[in-house]
Amino acid sequence: MNIKIIYFTSPGCSICVHQTAILNEIQSENNIEVDNHLITTAFDKALTYGVKSAPTMVFLYDEKPQVVKTGFHSKIQIKKTIEMIAGN
């Protein structure tokens, strides 16, 4: 599976803390790369994907953006997005 998640977070964001924990689980269980960035220091990269708030996840397949999810998403929701992108 060639799926990668670019994850934008923000310092002091309590929702981001919970989202990060879920993404860490998904990364270790599914061998999916999660590329973490602070939106405050990677703002140019965030704008490249149209990201303006945190938490936001950009799901890529073969390095091409497929889906952008803003706000908190459960582990089940994230797994469903991954399955959709992978064509399962």
Q: Where are the beta strands (DSSP E) in the chain?
A: 3-9, 33-38, 56-61, 64-70
3-class secondary-structure state, position 41: coil
* Residue boundaries of the structural domains of the chain: 35-63
- Tens-digit pLDDT profile for residues 51-76: 999 999 999 999 999 999 999 999 99
pTM: 0.94
Find the mean pLDDT for residues 23-32. Answer: 93
Q: Which two tokens stand for residue 65?
A: 């953006």
Question: What is residue 38's DSSP assignment?
Answer: E
What strands lie across the sheet with 33-38, from one edge to the other?
Answer: 33-38, 3-9, 56-61, 64-70
- CA-to-CA distance for 64 and 74, rounded, in angstroms? 23
